Amino acid sequence: MKRRQFVGGLAAAASLAACAREETNCGSDSAAGAQTFEWSCVTSWPPKFPGLGMAPENIASRVEAATNGRLKIKVYGGGELVPAFEVLDAVSRGTVEMGHDAAYYHKGKVPAAQFFAAIPFGMNNLEMYAWLYYGGGLELWQELYDPFNLVVFPAGSTGTQMGGWFNKEINSVDDLKGLKMRIPGLGGEVLRRAGGTPVTLPGSEIFTALQTGAIDATEWVGPYNDVSFGLHKAAQYYYYPGWHEPGPGLETIINKDAWNSLPPDLQEIVRTTCQAIVTDVIAEYMHGNAMSLKQLKSDPNVEIRPFPAEVIELLRGISKEIIDEMMATDPAAAKIGESYFSYLEDMSANTDISERAYYNTR
């Protein structure tokens, strides 16, 4: 089935290429008299923000071009049309046709959705997309969202994130106690059990909260986006690795009624475009993080540090406890978690003698 979908996408691309080679107007001819659609897409990100905010913009522009204007998508940043953390509700109700965010923002409504965003000490982005596209993960994701009248597609990953910006040193587990930190998802629950106070804030509010002392620390993404927000001007200590988000994934969600209103060719263009955006976003973050880290390393006011080993061990142990509890109390989480961790075990065996072994020798 996956091969047929892939070949179908290639066939559509080849058809468009043939039109270009023959200098014909076949795109216009095929669209003549066809129904057109105008959608709204809400996001959790600041408008046109590098990486996160541009991913839905790029989906919209590519879909419009590939459909010869038959499907136009207007993108709204977080708070412009609906609050940043209410994307799922707006799309589910049909207030808008489409949304772009991260699945762990829905943990209060759909706890198991966190498996499709970030699991502490879990899969990196390459392992994650292998699971989604070839290991049955995407089918489980769609099954989870089906009761909410949603169709879902993966739509990018930032890669392994940083541990965050701190206004005080983290030298031992005691330094986590009383720490007020912006950190969402399961990572926030881990911090709570370690003695800290997790805070959920949209990206647009992070800098001011950190600068004014409303929070002591924050994770956001990594050097690329953190520099864009100027977080290096609000805190001194930059810790790694991002144990809480080893390969966080983004999602495109579409109202099922809106999706079913599209003819098959437009559905295929949307599906294929979302998969293309996955590659684009990963490449953008690999490049952007490297260039921005170079800038941060030259800044005398920034100290880049690894978390102490005892802190990582504590966080790993708490993470396992929380995930085990979630799987024990939520049947959906149990089903998805069984697939996730079984696949992670298989992936880890391969990663140990491929990527990890190579990195250790480079």
- List the domain boundaries for the chain: 34-160+247-286, 161-244+301-325
In angstroms, rounded to a whole number, what is the distance separating the alpha carbons of residues 103 and 144? 11
**292-351 per-position pLDDT tens digit:** 999 999 999 999 999 999 999 999 999 999 999 999 999 999 999 999 999 999 999 999
Q: Return the pLDDT at 33.
A: 52
Residue of 116, 126, 248 whose CA lies nearest to 183 = 248
Contact 41, 97 (CB under 8 A): yes
In angstroms, rounded to a whole number, what is the distance separating the alpha carbons of residues 238 and 164? 6
Q: Return the pLDDT at 23.
A: 42
Q: What is the separation of C-alpha 43 from the centre of its chain, rounded to a whole number of angstroms? A: 12
**182-203 per-position pLDDT tens digit:** 999 999 999 999 999 999 999 9
Q: Return the pLDDT at 181.
A: 98
34-160+247-286 fold: D-Maltodextrin-Binding Protein; domain 2 (3.40.190)
Q: Is 312 exposed, middle or buried (0-12, 13-18, 19+ CB in 10 A)?
A: middle
Residue of 238, 251, 244, 188 whose CA lies nearest to 210 = 238
Q: Return the pLDDT at 34.
A: 83
Q: Which residues in the chain land under pLDDT 50?
A: 1-4, 6-8, 10-32
Q: Which CATH number fits domain 161-244+301-325: 3.40.50.2300, 2.60.40.1180, 3.40.190.10, 3.40.640.10?
A: 3.40.190.10
